[in-house]
Structure 1
């Protein structure tokens, strides 16, 4: 079986730039193919992310479009980073697509808003196993273990040399709701307290005393990327499928919900104090 490659956020930006350059020069994909001696469908497939763009082909395109440095060097750098063999390919049979993993891997900032469930990136292995079994009761043991392995693999993003900045707003009810094991719950609370010590992880809890707040309407994640040219993406996971939101008007509502949720939450020090209190209650 041929190994599939995942187009990164940087790769998508490169393809947008190449299409922009071609359009500005008034050329059709057939014009480009004719001048470069390519098959007439080759550029269509490249611009749609259906074929890998090798650096020799990128060089030919940039020469044809008359692109010079520093823009040329910038686009070559994108080309080197465009295609990735992601760890998630080993688990592709478990999930509908790769978009979530690619965005999580490429994001500079990840904002979790969790009124109902603890985000997978913050779960311990034992807690994840219990949650997966509960949420997908028809899974056999092997599939559960593979889902747990994938979730643990994801968490490597938090300990890499250039981790994303993570903000997690978690409802107090999520922390108080038992997974079914007191030992597992305690381990999970200790893990959250440990994560809260890292400078790139901003953990906030919305206490019951805050009452109803806007972010309580649903669980969602917002991904923001290093380059200003890459718009944020909001992600919502539901019982009937995943939703990705990129429209600016819709994103504004998620941004407002994020702001309102942070306003209702405890600050980091107060959050750590609450976690410590919950640990004492679980002794």
Structure 2
């Protein structure tokens, strides 16, 4: 299932609340459009997130639905926050869309299952630079510099006052596949040990001795959000495009693969010791 999620979690929550208010008043979208003098398709597009809801229109809707304080102020604040421009828009020419950045920015928990590549959130700047240079298709220096800036900017969520919980389950191959500079590789392994001591970050390693396991064929991320009504979203990056999965049945398959990852992984403490062993080999 391929979707494009451009709304923030706050925006989706606002639209859900507006649909609830309309349903409680037993009004159809056509009823609302007629009373507000809107085109009959306008509310359909707003409620589906296909058209931006400006604050004047939100004010009209809340007035029609008879919403009073403090609920009115709460919904109006959601409206102000829903379509805020994110830092990533300055780099939108590099990527297919802003969906990934929106979800990563809004998530309460980010779980990354990595059988092949080290997740960008965990990379040192030096490692990120080396990996971007190695994997870039054209070698365009300016474009690689901008990709590096994006990767480092993303890590800003880890320095927030209330950062998201991050779980990263890494295959041993991810840790052993070094960039060309051994010093950079050593620094990256050291950084992973530091991160695993951080309260909101858990890093687990799947050693080669665990054998083949479910989910090994592809890297994926599961985003979970603060509001229980905002269902988890699974994300998988591919050579021919990104896939965002929202359907509960499909997300359940990713959740099962995630559980299999964790079953064969070392716990956080043992994983730290494992990485220390790799450091000794590298040093």
Kept in 2: contact 1:11–1:78 (CA 8 A): yes
Moved more, 29-38 or 162-171: 29-38
Residue pairs, 1:108-257, within 5 angstroms: 108-257=108-257
Offset at 1:23?
A: 4.2
Task: Please give the alpha-carbon distance, in whole angstroms, between the structure 1 residues aligned to 2:100 and 2:35.
Answer: 38
- The answer to whether residue 262 in structure 2 is matched with residue 270 in structure 1 is no
The question of whether the paired residues in 2 share the 8 Å contact of 1:158 and 1:164 is answered with yes
Q: Secondary structure at the match of 2:216?
A: helix
Give the alignment's TM-score, normalised by structure 2.
0.91
* Residue number in structure 1 paired with 2:3: none
Deviates more, 1:17-26 or 1:269-278: 17-26
Q: TM-score, normalised by structure 1?
A: 0.91
CA distance in 1, matches of 2:252, 2:102: 23
Bigger drift between 112-121 and 189-198 goes to: 189-198
Alpha-carbon distance in 2 for matches of 1:84, 1:162 = 19
Does the CA contact (< 8 Å) of 1:7 and 1:84 recur in 2? Answer: no
Q: Write out the 4+ residue segments of structure 1 that deviate beyond 6 Å after TM superposition.
A: none
CA distance in 2, matches of 1:32, 1:190: 59
Q: 1:69 to 1:228 in 2, by over 3 A?
A: farther
**Greater Cα offset, 98-107 or 39-48:** 39-48
1:45 Cα deviation after fit: 4.2
- Contact 1:164–1:200 (Cα < 8 Å) also in 2: yes
Give SS of 1:236's match: strand
Query: Shift in Å at residue 24 of structure 1?
Result: 4.6
Q: Which has the higher contact order (CA 8 A, sep 6+)?
A: 2
In the TM superposition, what whole-angstrom CA distance separates every residue of 1:165-212 from its partner, at most 9, and x where no partner exists?
000000011100111221111111111111111100011011111111
Q: How far apart, CA to CA, are the structure 2 residues paired with 1:209 and 1:67?
A: 60
Partners of 2:236 and 2:139 in 1: CA distance: 22
Between Structure 1 and Structure 2, how many residues are aligned? 278
**SS of residue paired to 2:22:** helix
Return 67-76 or 231-240, whichever deviates more: 67-76
> Contact 1:165–1:200 (CA<8 Å) still a contact in 2?
yes
* Aligned equivalents of 1:264, 1:77: Cα separation in 2: 44
Query: What SS class does the counterpart of residue 228 from structure 1 fall into?
Result: coil
- Unmatched runs of 5 consecutive residues or more in structure 2: 1-5
